[in-house]
A and B are shown apart, each in its own frame.
Chain A
Amino acid sequence: MKKFRALIFVFLIIFISGCGKKEYSKVEFLMDTVVEIKVYHKRKAEAEKAINSSMEEMKRVEQKMSCFFPGSEVSRINKEAFLEEKKGSLLVEGWIPVSDELFSLLGESVLLSKLTKGCFDITIYPLWKIWKFEGENIEVPDKKKIEKKLQLVNYNNIIIGNGKIKFVKRNMGIDFGGIAKGYAVDAAIKVLKDKNINSAMVNAGGDMYVLGRKQGKPWRIGIRHPRREREILGTIEVENRAIVTSGDYERFFFSGGKKYHHIINPKTGYPADECQSVTIVAKEATFADGLATGIFVLGPKEGMALIENLEGVEGVIVNKEGDVSVSSGLISKIEYVN
């Protein structure tokens, strides 16, 4: 009887805690995608204020981290990190001071590069610039050009220390494209938490973080089927987790009957072709974003081994044949959709 009462009490608490919260949301076009912030909260004014601050934070991150904004910190680094200063008759390479925020993101990027054996690499920028996936005249870059740019891609050629950065080679550059959306999602969630929001979702074009529970229940997230446009592969129930997917269906073009998608292998200079999609579930969206990109390039076998070795990380990999592998911690949680 006591157990029964205790059970009722627990249910009551769960019920009450989920009650009285209403849904508030906002959608904006940011970071070249659609961003949605959804909050469950009791007080409208607080919820809306939190959403607005969170959205502003994502805009700030975009301005700072994008290599496409000429005034961004990343653009400045790309322009100046291989600067040679003339001191008398000597040429001295320049060190560029970076903000604490960018410095820690650089550190995380290098860690991801090491974990994925260089398959995630922010120094891909010179290559990415010649692979244009936008605009009207998209074409495969010249082979010699790709080979030349490949010489500039290697995360070991970034030197960071004491809050400064330096490139070893001239014309190197960095691009946080494989990690920035995740970072912006984490930054937005941090703002929501600071504003006492404990049930929310920040979704940047399918890369998301779900905070707490949604009206007392875990969030139910679908994983897109990589070959069936409007279908999902399966669903998972999660809370306080980031869910990020990298797929070969996001941006691509055909040339000579061959498909070229936007996830470029930093070692070959051409699109990675071992996977159709990689979904990572982790504690942080920044890490999940970089890891999904890196594992997509690394391949399904080594990728799944890496997921299994990382604490608090789960994943779903669809290989090039369309076979699905699920990490051990998700096997019993994923619900397949026929």
Chain B
Amino acid sequence: MFTLVAIASFSFVRLFFISNEGKEALIKVGNGPVQRVSLKTDRRINLEGEKGRVVIEIKEGRVRAVESSCFQKICVNTGWINKPGQNIICLPNKVLVTIEGKESPKIDAVSY
């Protein structure tokens, strides 16, 4: 009956900026350590988030969340990201995926 569309949480620091393509992604689950993964090898990574599983897909230098146990699926709806500073955030599962790149973004942060 009701379509839930809450947004915002996925948009985070430096989300919006166009720069060169990144070669690595940083993945953080909860307040655990940051994992660094290469975007050169196509694969799927299963992450155990706070509420359940989040599946990340890496393909042709891009990354996206293909599956998540969260209700709103904001992370999955974010789609592919491949530019430094872009993020995928799943707040219910406390999963953050950020693209790393050498070229610094033109903007330090976004207020939203």
Contacts from A to B (Cβ < 8 Å): 27-29, 32-34, 36, 133, 135-139, 201, 203, 205-208, 210, 214, 219-224, 229-232, 235, 243-245, 247, 249-255, 279
Contacts and interface: CB of A to CB of B under 8 A. Distances in A.
A220 B12 contact: no
A32 B91 contact: yes
A222 B5 contact: no
Contacts of A205: 9, 12, 112
A25 to B, nearest CB: 10
A138 B112 contact: no
Contact of B109 (A219, A249, A254): A219
A221 B111 contact: yes
Contacts of A214: 108
The main secondary structure of chain B at its interface with chain A is loop
A32 B106 CA distance: 27
B110 A34 contact: no
Contacts of B89: 34
A220 B28 CA distance: 26
Given A135-B71, A229-B11, A206 B4 contact: no
B110 A253 contact: no
Interface of B: 1-9, 11-13, 15-16, 28, 30-31, 34, 71, 89, 91, 94, 96, 106-112
B111 A231 contact: no
Most buried by A among B4, B34, B110, B111: B111
Sort A-B residue pairs by CB-CB distance and give the 9 closest, nearest first.
Answer: A224-B112, A250-B8, A206-B112, A222-B110, A245-B111, A29-B94, A243-B111, A222-B107, A251-B6
B100 to A, nearest CB: 12
Nearest to A34: B12
A63 to B, nearest CB: 15
Nearest to B34: A27
A317 to B, nearest CB: 13
A199 B11 CA distance: 24
A3 B12 CA distance: 45
A250 B34 CA distance: 26
B7 A229 contact: yes
Contact of B16 (A29, A32, A222): A222
Most buried by A among B5, B8, B15, B96: B8
Most buried by B among A232, A243, A254: A232
B108 A201 contact: yes
Contacts of A222: 16, 107, 109-111
A221 B96 contact: no
13 contacts: A34-B96, A36-B13, A135-B71, A206-B11, A206-B111, A214-B108, A222-B16, A230-B11, A252-B5, A252-B6, A253-B2, A254-B3, A255-B2
B14 to A, nearest CB: 9
Given A28-B31, A230-B15, A230-B16, A250 B111 contact: no
